[in-house]
Structure 1
Amino acid sequence: MTTYLLAGGGTAGHVNPLLATADELRRRDPAAEIVVLGTAEGLEARLVPERGYELVTIPKLPFPRRPNAAALRFPGAFRRTIARVASIIADRHVDVVVGFGGYASAPAYLGARKAHVPFVIHEANAKPGLANRLGARFSPWVGVSFASTRLPHATLVGMPLRREITSLADAGARAAAATEAHGVFGLDPARPTLLVTGGSLGARRINATVHATAAQVLAAGWNVLHIAGGRAEVTDPGLPGYVFLDYCDRMDLALAVADFAVSRAGGSTLSEFGALGVPGVLVPYPVGNGEQRFNAHDLVSAGGALLVADAEFVPAWVSRELVPLLGDRDRIALMAAHAREVGIPDGDVRLAALIDQAVAGAVDGTPGGTSGPAARHDDLNGKDSA
């Protein structure tokens, strides 16, 4: 029996691929023991137990950015956390550690090194986070979601996605789900559907601009399925063909019915668009380290999406660019085909295969440092993007 320690959390971008990978490992080996390492404050504290997996928590230790009392306490607290992870690995007879970024990952990687256990890294964004940049220096088993990601030893595996999403890559399954979606959301099946989403909390610019131009989009012959998010500052315009939701708990149906999308550029969202061939307009989140702009690169370069800066996504742009595009069904069909070219619907399977390589490497004596089975990554039809 293989024991896996999956580390990550904090946000849905870390937790969801972790859970999709856990599900695939469990499908492959129902007897496998799967333990998740996270924090008590992150989203994993709720989602992991709900999915039926054991969660072990460690302290949330943000890396200090400035000299202060917390910075003075950090080294000792970090060393103790690494020692605790190493102890968990030894006590639970963990065979391999898999990290997905977030606060739990750096201690997991260093704890695995201390315990002489192989570790695998999955990076969900095109611009890697600090924990994964650190870990990639010491492991030959690094899976990335985007071909443009720059990490040592990177193998393109794609994003592990929920099976209810990836099953829609089959045309028949998607058609059946789209029929269900028309009924669930109250959409006209004779019209194509524009999906608008800015994530669970919403996106102020996307919400305001689409809301202001709703009549134009409807006049172009489209339905609008607008998932505004939990902090939306707009309300339902009450127009026929315009479905306004604060939250959607059936994103599989929303994606199944989407012929085009207006969206932020989170890693999971873009991976879903690619896997299902959903073209769209991407409006990256303008705050933070700019990771969403980097995430969009592969899909945009392939011709599957247009990139528009947040400040430029205004009603005049919709009138000038988006409305005419929605009237060009041939162009939209070509964009959908280009989106599928970069999509990877089996990221969970590919990452599980990389994990198998790490376990096999530990058994046959392959070192878990910066040398190892890089050549074997071609078996995943991956791509060295280092």
Structure 2
Amino acid sequence: MTNSGPHGDTGNTADAVSRQGGAEPATKAPTVVVAGGGTAGHIEPAMALADAVMRLRPDARVVALGTERGLENQLVPARGYQLELVPPVPLPRKPSAELLRLPLKVRDSVRKTRKVLDEVGADVVVGFGGYVALPAYLAARGRVPIVVHEANKHPGLANKIGARFAKRVAVGMKGTPLSRAEVVGIPLRHSITSLDRAALRAEAREYFQLDPDAPTLLVFGGSQGARSLNTAVSGAAEDFAKAGVGVLHAHGPKNSVVVREYPGRPAYVPVPYLDRMDLAYAAADLVLCRSGAMTVAEVSAVGLPAVFVPLPHGNGEQALNAEPAVAAGAALLVPDAELTQRKVADEVVPLVTDRERLAKMSAAAVGLGHGKADEVLAGMVLGALDR
């Protein structure tokens, strides 16, 4: 099943050839299949890689694998790439009836994924973890070269399996326990790695209707928002107003934040979703957010001081993601259970108004990231092609 891009891009039309830069016949150009659906943390690195592949090989074709319920249905076509849908393979964490049905689900998904790989003429498969990666690895094994990218320090099961028979294994940080791992960082959008926050500041403030001169806090909790962040920060709205601080708060599409207006004070601007992260980063002096691997990489890349509030669930990977920035002095870490309205008023408000301290934190962020990770990984992927 194919999900068309904004110009009806199905990979077979003249528009598709133009978007993928393919002036040569499709049989002579490499087809790169990326598998990283489900969450933005898997999709965004895949799209950053796709863009880098197209810069290095304008004749290439990039196809993304996804599922019918994932965010990739919005994000991938919006970036102009072909999206093919395959059955997901969720891996139960505990013994259950689902676990007993898993072999049949895997077999069905692998069969359908293999059919997609054949139809698009895949020359290499690049997996970023998640529900789509496992069937992609199993479908490609022994047939198409595989490259694995793991963003987190604790690899997921799909990438642990894929790394066993991958041609190259790339990771986002040192110490990731995968065999033959090469540290490349996390691929980021070119609009982020090339961002000049100071040059865009005025435009960004105007775009979000923020005070042009006030210290400004950016708040977001991932693509779906975070209730604990929403509650603590919105509860301190009066404290921000009294301190002369503006707030840009992305609360998530399924949540809402209602705050009182304070005439004559910098605006508190709640939005469901940030469609221009580059401008959001440029508008801010400090960010308070979760510490997913992608978020930490972006915040570090743009030199934005941060207060990271790791997701309290899972295997603690978000706290590990934040460690390098915290150790360098570029960020603070606040456990989710400790993030209260009073904590925000007592620690975040004074920080966002302390220009000298923020300048030191911003300087400390320089060098933490891998600004060329997208092109380094693209080089690995193109180098893995069977000649």
Q: TM-score range by the shorter chain?
A: 0.7 to 0.9
Deviation at 1:302? 1.7
Which among 197, 202, 206 is matched to residue 179 of structure 1?
A: 202
What's the counterpart of residue 355 of structure 1? 381
**Does the CA contact (< 8 Å) of 2:149 and 2:169 recur in 1?**
yes
Q: Per-residue CA shift, 1:311-366, capped at 9, x if unaligned?
A: 1111332343333333432221111111122122332112112213322xx43xxx
What's the counterpart of residue 107 of structure 1? 135
What's the counterpart of residue 372 of structure 1? none
Q: Distance in 2 between matches of 1:30 and 1:167?
A: 20
Over the aligned positions, Cα root-mean-square deviation in angstroms equals 2.2
SS state of the match for residue 139, structure 1? coil
When structure 1 is superposed on structure 2, of 65-74 and 12-21 the one drifting more is: 65-74
The answer on 1:147 being equivalent to 2:157 is no
What's the counterpart of residue 290 of structure 1? 316
C-alpha distance 282-214 of structure 1, shift in aligned 2 (>3 A): same
SS state of the match for residue 133, structure 1? helix
Q: Distance in 2 between matches of 1:175 and 1:321?
A: 25
With normalisation by structure 1, the TM-score equals 0.85
> How do residues 30-179 of structure 1 correspond to structure 2 at under 5 angstroms?
30-115=58-143, 117-168=144-195, 171=196, 174-179=197-202
> How do residues 236-251 of structure 1 correspond to structure 2 at under 5 angstroms?
236-239=259-262, 240-247=265-272, 248-251=274-277
Deviation at 1:68? 4.8
What's the counterpart of residue 25 of structure 2? none
Deviation at 1:114? 3.0
**One-letter amino acid of the counterpart of residue 265, structure 1:** S
C-alpha distance 297-150 of structure 1, shift in aligned 2 (>3 A): farther
C-alpha distance 70-302 of structure 1, shift in aligned 2 (>3 A): same
Q: Distance in 2 between matches of 1:188 and 1:69?
A: 55
Deviation at 1:148? 4.6
Give the number of aligned pairs.
356
C-alpha distance 267-29 of structure 1, shift in aligned 2 (>3 A): same
Q: Which runs of 5+ in 2 are unaligned?
A: 1-28
Deviation at 1:205? 1.8
What's the counterpart of residue 23 of structure 2? none
The answer on 1:203 being equivalent to 2:229 is no
Q: Which runs of 5+ in 1 are unaligned?
A: 364-386
SS state of the match for residue 297, structure 1? helix
Q: Distance in 2 between matches of 1:358 and 1:35?
A: 17
C-alpha distance 315-114 of structure 1, shift in aligned 2 (>3 A): same
Deviation at 1:66? 4.7
**One-letter amino acid of the counterpart of residue 2, structure 1:** P
The answer on 1:253 being equivalent to 2:276 is no
**Does the CA contact (< 8 Å) of 1:304 and 1:335 recur in 2?**
yes
What's the counterpart of residue 224 of structure 1? 247
**One-letter amino acid of the counterpart of residue 245, structure 1:** P
Q: Distance in 1 between matches of 2:105 and 2:237?
A: 52
Q: Distance in 2 between matches of 1:236 and 1:347?
A: 40
C-alpha distance 190-49 of structure 1, shift in aligned 2 (>3 A): closer
Deviation at 1:229? 2.0
Query: Among the aligned pairs, what percent are the same residue?
Result: 47
Q: Per-residue CA shift, 1:163-219, capped at 9, x if unaligned?
A: 222220xx4xx3332110121222222222211112232222222222222233344
